[in-house]
């Protein structure tokens, strides 16, 4: 009994010291993390005009959500739904391009005999470069007199050139942005696949070689199934990145021309900080709507892909 | 075991220290910007002071001018004024908004001019008593500078209609000032490349009408191959607020212009269709530089400075950018945006209005010193130092401009010193920031890219204006 009491006291002391050690982190989370999150949720139910104080915000009920979801504010609603459609196009394109390309490059690099390090370094460059500088470089490439148009002119494909620049035409601006996003996401996904490839037992490939399997058959029947858990993570990461995308679009097009590259994060930013007639409450409401959507999409993709693994 | 206990105690002590540190940090001070410890100098005669004022702004180009004023002020009073620049504009807006929310404002901050712009529901001090106390100071400003910062009935009407407007805004009084203008300027200015115009044999004088101006563009294009016009079609409000609204005012006169801005007249009406038609004309004729929809303001100025277009659209502030980009002043011609044939007010003077205002935090620890500094900044001496350093047109009518550069002297000379209808009705022309104009910006880009006509753009604008009107 005495011994038990001693043990329970020691356990309590142990627990107390553990809590004390965790306290700074918990405090920081409560102040910076949880408080901000709760505050933002709360604000989404209030009107707060540009230049007003939060203390003077006016209760709006569900008005902010109705404004963009149900069209109570026709122009904002049009903008929101168009931006959401662009977000979905980016999501689908990114997943459809990033996953196979990253996998293919990783597998090819795994199989080449010489220069692996050089190629890996080159391919990882987008990850270690300053993204803002890179987006400006891409903007230059896409200009009417930029590298891409000059290249097309040089090879005699004048009809394929974009007269107003690749970011300046309604039908090329979004694909041009998607190309940059895909280019930026491939290195991160490649690292995941590199790591995954190291875990596949080489005996499987040796057996396949003995059976006379081709490169494609090995990729399809050994590599792909073995890397499915990695693919689940890669898909979810790509989806999250694509839904929350902001920097390249804001820097390269600000959502234009004519809203053709507008995504929800750009609409939110404009509503909160750019539009003098904007409403910080509505911006928060759109932000939480996007969070809910991201959460649902991630959940669905995780379950779907896990079922198949 | 003993060692373990000692280590654990040390860790607990360390964690406690970190916790206390975090709590202290989270507590914060309630005297933001109070970096000084001494008492107020009690007037400009005091030679020494350990008071330090903090001044926030977002204009890199203004900093040398503000620093020159701060240096001179320190020599006079001993008070230090530290300037802090935050760019770009939206980062600055976020910083000031966050500081206002946390009640952590600097002593002085600059903000875009407007009756309650940057007032943050009373974080800013109200200046009418100070201005009334010193009539000489009040009268030294350009009339348009002060009329653009004072609260009028029309602002109160607009706040009353706005569901987002706070109770503080709704309870403002006519005649209140929440900022002191430090500069004035104007948009509605066309800059031309004199060399290209001469090469094409086009006169350097201002074209009398828009119609003639379009013909001049055609001539230059035919003879030199250079497109006529470039402006930042990527940025909302450059065309709408720097050209189209003023031209509509000239074409239709104050009454019809007010109706248009108040959503009571339609853009599809022939009286206002020119707003969209101009964009269609310059796009279809090939006079708009290709890729204008991808250009921000600076790249657009750059394209003009590089001789890629004959004319560009700007304001009084654009000249310094063009010279900084390497253009010689003698190679630039400038004129007010032309009026359309048959305009009702074709000779409207270039209106000037305040662009940037200085705001003093109402509950700042050194409020009186901050007021004194703003008064010094907007004195003859302070404004001369500021204008020379910032290459900006001051808000005060300087008696002696000899120490300023010739370009600046000429810019100051071009500013209309009299208040006029347009300058006095900022709340009318500023309706160009309404949601329907955002829609027009989108349609304008579609016109440029050939996927919409002027009529379609006007119809979309009208639909949007109607929807906005219904919400009023």
Write out pLDDT tens, residues B80-104. Answer: 999 999 988 888 988 998 899 888 9
| Same domain for B394 and B275 | no
- Please tell me which residue of chain B has the smallest CA distance to A23: B19
Residue B240 belongs to domain with CATH number = 3.40.190.10
Q: How many domains does chain B have?
A: 2
| Same domain for B136 and B180 | yes
Cis ω on the peptide bond leading into residue A295 (within 30° of 0)?
no
Inter-chain residue contact B291 with A168, CB threshold 8 Å: yes
pLDDT more than 90, % of chain B: 64
Q: Report if residue A56 sits inside a domain.
A: no
Question: If you search the block for the tokens 């918990």, which residue do you land on?
Answer: A26
DSSP A97-142: HHHHHHHHHHHHHHH-SS-HHHHHHHHHHHHHS-HHHHHHHHHHHH
Closest by CA position to B196, among listed B84, B349, B332, B302: B332
| Same domain for A69 and A24 | no
Rounded-to-integer distance, Cα A71 and Cα B471, Å: 13
Q: Report if residue A94 sits inside a domain.
A: yes
Find all residues with CB under 8 Å of B270, minimum gap 6, and list them: none
CB interface of A with B, residues 128-167, below 8 Å: 139, 142-144, 163-165, 167
Exposure of B62 by Cβ count < 10 A (0-12 exposed, 13-18 middle, 19+ buried)?
A: buried
| Same domain for B343 and B415 | no
B162 and chain A: CB distance < 8 Å anywhere?
A: yes
Q: Report if residue A48 sits inside a domain.
A: no
DSSP B383-412: HHHHHHHHT--BSB--S--TTS-HHHHHHH
Chain B positions in Cβ-Cβ contact with residue A168 (cut-off 8 Å)? 290-291, 293-294, 449
Find all residues with CB under 8 Å of B294, minimum gap 6, and list them: A139, A142, A143, A164, A165, A167, A168, A253, A256, A257, B234
Asked whether B228 and B309 are in contact (CB, 8 A), the reply is yes
| Same domain for A167 and A28 | no
Q: Which of A52, A73, A144 sits opposite B290 (nearest CB)?
A: A144
| Same domain for A87 and A25 | no
| Same domain for A92 and A238 | yes
Q: Report if residue B58 sits inside a domain.
A: yes
| Same domain for A188 and A97 | yes
Q: Report if residue A220 sits inside a domain.
A: yes
Chain A positions in Cβ-Cβ contact with residue B163 (cut-off 8 Å)? 47, 58
| Same domain for B132 and B94 | yes
| Same domain for A205 and A81 | yes
Q: What integer pLDDT is reported at residue A50 of this predicted model?
A: 78
Q: At what angle do helices A228-243 and A74-111 cross, to 10 degrees?
A: 150
Q: How many domains does chain A have?
A: 2
| Same domain for B116 and B68 | yes
Inter-chain residue contact A170 with B168, CB threshold 8 Å: no
B199 and chain A: CB distance < 8 Å anywhere?
A: no
Chain B positions in Cβ-Cβ contact with residue A47 (cut-off 8 Å)? 163-164
Inter-chain residue contact A56 with B116, CB threshold 8 Å: no
| Same domain for B208 and B329 | yes
| Same domain for A29 and A171 | no
DSSP B104-139: ---SEEEEE-STTTT-GGGTBPP-HHHHHH-HHHHH
Chain B positions in Cβ-Cβ contact with residue A75 (cut-off 8 Å)? 435-436, 438-439, 464, 467-468
B346-365 pLDDT per residue, tens: 998 888 889 999 999 999 99
| Same domain for B149 and B59 | yes
Q: At what angle do helices A74-111 and A173-198 cross, to 10 degrees?
A: 40
Q: Report if residue A201 sits inside a domain.
A: yes
| Same domain for B443 and B343 | yes
| Same domain for A164 and A28 | no
Q: At what angle do helices A280-308 and A228-243 cross, to 10 degrees?
A: 170
Residue A267 belongs to domain with CATH number = 1.10.3720.10
Q: Report if residue B8 sits inside a domain.
A: no
Inter-chain residue contact A256 with B291, CB threshold 8 Å: no
Q: Report if residue B20 sits inside a domain.
A: no
Q: Report if residue B39 sits inside a domain.
A: no
| Same domain for B160 and B111 | yes
Range of the domain at B103: 52-185+353-424
Q: Report if residue A58 sits inside a domain.
A: no
| Same domain for A277 and A203 | yes
- Provide the 3-class DSSP secondary structure of residue A158: helix
Range of the domain at A142: 64-308
Q: What integer pLDDT is reported at residue B11 of this predicted model?
A: 56
| DSSP class of A150 | H
Q: What integer pLDDT is reported at residue B31 of this predicted model?
A: 39
| Same domain for A126 and A18 | no
Asked whether A123 and A186 are in contact (CB, 8 A), the reply is yes
Q: Report if residue B25 sits inside a domain.
A: no
Question: If you search the block for the tokens 């596949």, which residue do you land on?
Answer: A200
Inter-chain residue contact B449 with A170, CB threshold 8 Å: yes
Q: Which of A20, A53, A139 sits opposite B101 (nearest CB)?
A: A53
Rounded-to-integer distance, Cα B23 and Cα A278, Å: 35
| Same domain for A39 and A120 | no
pLDDT more than 70, % of chain A: 96
- Point out the residues of chain A with pLDDT beneath 70: 1-7, 306-309
| Same domain for A175 and A28 | no
| Same domain for B290 and B199 | yes
Q: What is the distance, to the nearest Å, from the Cα of residue A199 to the centroid of all Cα atoms in its chain? A: 26
Q: Report if residue B37 sits inside a domain.
A: no
For residue B72, the tally of other CB atoms under 10 A from its CB is: 17
| Same domain for B440 and B295 | yes
| Same domain for B381 and B319 | no
Q: Report if residue A49 sits inside a domain.
A: no
- Point out the residues of chain B with pLDDT beneath 50: 1-3, 5, 19, 21-44
Rounded-to-integer distance, Cα A202 and Cα A200, Å: 6
Q: Report if residue B429 sits inside a domain.
A: no
Q: Report if residue A59 sits inside a domain.
A: no
Q: What is the distance, to the nearest Å, from the Cα of residue A114 to the centroid of all Cα atoms in its chain? A: 33
């Amino acid at each position: 009994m005495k011994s038990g009491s001693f043990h329970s006291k020691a356990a309590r002391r142990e627990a107390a010291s553990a809590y004390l050690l965790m306290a700074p982190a918990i405090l920081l989370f409560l102040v910076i993390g949880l408080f901000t999150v709760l505050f933002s949720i709360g604000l989404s139910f209030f009107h707060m005009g540009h230049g007003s104080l939060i203390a003077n915000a006016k209760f709006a009920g569900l008005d902010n959500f109705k404004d963009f979801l149900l069209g109570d504010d026709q122009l904002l609603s049009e903008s929101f739904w168009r931006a959401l459609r662009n977000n979905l196009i980016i999501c689908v394109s990114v997943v459809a391009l990033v996953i196979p390309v990253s996998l293919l490059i990783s597998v090819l690099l795994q199989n080449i005999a010489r220069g692996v390090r050089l190629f890996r370094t080159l391919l990882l460059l987008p990850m270690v470069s300053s993204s803002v500088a890179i987006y400006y470089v891409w903007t230059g490439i896409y200009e009417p007199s930029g590298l891409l148009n000059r290249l097309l002119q040089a090879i005699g494909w004048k009809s394929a050139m974009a007269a107003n620049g690749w970011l300046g035409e309604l039908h090329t601006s979004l694909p041009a942005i998607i190309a940059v996003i895909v280019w930026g996401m491939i290195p991160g996904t490649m690292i995941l696949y590199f790591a995954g490839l190291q875990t596949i037992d080489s005996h499987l490939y040796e057996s396949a070689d003995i059976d006379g399997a081709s490169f494609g058959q090995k990729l399809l029947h050994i590599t792909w199934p073995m890397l499915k858990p990695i693919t689940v993570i890669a898909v979810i990461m790509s989806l999250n990145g694509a839904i929350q995308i902001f920097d390249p679009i804001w820097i390269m097009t600000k959502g234009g021309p004519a809203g053709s590259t507008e995504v929800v994060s750009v609409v939110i930013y404009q509503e909160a900080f750019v539009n003098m007639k904007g409403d910080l409450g509505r911006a928060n409401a759109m932000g939480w709507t996007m969070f809910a959507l991201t959460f649902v999409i991630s959940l669905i993709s995780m379950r779907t892909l896990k079922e198949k693994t | 075991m003993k060692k373990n206990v000692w280590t654990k105690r040390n860790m607990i002590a360390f964690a406690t220290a970190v916790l206390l540190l975090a709590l202290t940090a989270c507590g914060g001070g309630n005297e933001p910007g109070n970096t000084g410890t001494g008492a107020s100098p009690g007037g400009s005669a005091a030679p020494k002071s350990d008071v330090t004022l903090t001044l926030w702004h977002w204009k890199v180009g203004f900093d040398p001018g503000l620093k020159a004023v701060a240096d001179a002020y320190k020599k006079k009073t001993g008070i230090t004024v530290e300037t802090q620049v935050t760019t770009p504009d939206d980062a600055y807006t976020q910083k000031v908004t966050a500081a206002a929310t946390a009640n952590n404002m600097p002593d002085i901050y600059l903000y875009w001019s407007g009756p309650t712009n940057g007032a943050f529901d009373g974080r800013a001090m109200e200046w009418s008593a100070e201005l009334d106390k010193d009539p000489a100071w009040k009268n030294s400003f350009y009339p348009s500078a002060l009329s653009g910062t004072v609260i009028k009935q029309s602002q109160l009407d607009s706040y009353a209609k706005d569901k987002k407007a706070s109770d503080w805004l709704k309870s403002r009084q006519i005649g209140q000032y929440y900022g002191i203008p430090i500069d004035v300027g104007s948009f509605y200015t066309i800059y031309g490349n004199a060399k290209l115009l001469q090469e094409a044999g086009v006169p350097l004088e201002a074209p009398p009408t828009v119609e003639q101006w379009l013909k001049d563009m055609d001539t230059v294009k035919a003879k030199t191959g250079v497109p006529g016009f470039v402006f930042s079609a990527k940025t909302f409000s450059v065309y709408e607020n720097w050209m189209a609204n003023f031209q509509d005012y000239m074409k239709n006169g104050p009454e019809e212009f007010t109706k248009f801005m108040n959503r009571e007249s339609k853009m599809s009406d022939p009286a206002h269709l020119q707003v969209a038609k101009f964009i269609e004309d310059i796009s279809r004729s090939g006079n708009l530089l290709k890729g204008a929809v991808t250009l921000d303001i600076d790249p657009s100025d750059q394209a003009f400075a590089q001789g890629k277009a004959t004319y560009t659209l700007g304001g009084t502030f654009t000249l310094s950018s063009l010279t900084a980009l390497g253009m010689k002043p003698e190679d630039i011609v400038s004129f007010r945006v032309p009026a359309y044939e048959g305009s009702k007010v074709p000779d409207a003077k270039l209106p000037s209005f305040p662009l940037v205002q200085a705001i003093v935090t109402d509950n700042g620890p050194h409020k009186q010193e901050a007021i004194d500094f703003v008064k010094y900044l907007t004195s003859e001496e302070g404004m001369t130092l500021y204008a020379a350093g910032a290459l900006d047109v001051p808000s005060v009518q300087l008696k002696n401009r000899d120490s300023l550069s010739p370009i600046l002297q000429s810019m100051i000379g071009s500013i209309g010193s009299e208040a006029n209808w347009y300058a006095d009705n900022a709340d009318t022309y500023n309706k160009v920031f309404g949601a329907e104009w955002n829609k027009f910006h989108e349609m304008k880009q579609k016109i440029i890219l050939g996927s919409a006509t002027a009529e379609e753009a006007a119809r979309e604008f009208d639909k949007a204006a109607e929807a906005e009107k219904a919400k009023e």
